Amino acid sequence: MLSEKIQAALNEQINAELWSAYLYLSMSAHFAADGKPGFANWMNVQFKEEQDHAMKIFNFIISRGGQVTLKPIAEVKTSWASPLDAFEDTLQHEQVVTGMINDLYALAAAEKDYATQSMLSWFVDEQVEEEETAQGIIDALKMIKDNGFGIYTLDKELGARVYTPIAAE
């Protein structure tokens, strides 16, 4: 059984994950309109992964006898000056999410909720990967600068990303 504090915090995280999905869907639309289908694909895969993250927490709350409470999703940004700008926003956002996951983990530890800690361990590891991936693309974009062929090549590389659902719970 979940404490009220844990349940409320997990519900807030569901909202944050769905907001993240909405942000990445917005980025995907931006890149599609800008003629960068590979960048759009990468963000679309990110959108789907964030939905999976929300559902992982959703299903966990249900499995622990809790109540899921969905709230409205706040508005997101819809345009970026450059691919670098978008990926810098991505990294900054993922760093915020990392802080939220760390806070949730600390709350679960303080509440001695070992089941929630165990579930959140997956998210702790996932956030390391999210930040590393975003930083890698930022580094590539900084090397490329405004080189059209470099952007084209990176667009092709990002277009090869394939969505893989997270393991069923």
**Tens digit of pLDDT for each residue in 56-96?**
999 999 999 999 999 999 999 999 999 999 999 999 999 99
Q: How many CA atoms lie within 13 A of 29 on its CB side?
A: 10
Question: Average pLDDT, whole number, for the chain?
Answer: 97
CA gap 28, 15 in Å, rounded: 20
Write down the pTM of the prediction. 0.95
CA gap 109, 111 in Å, rounded: 5
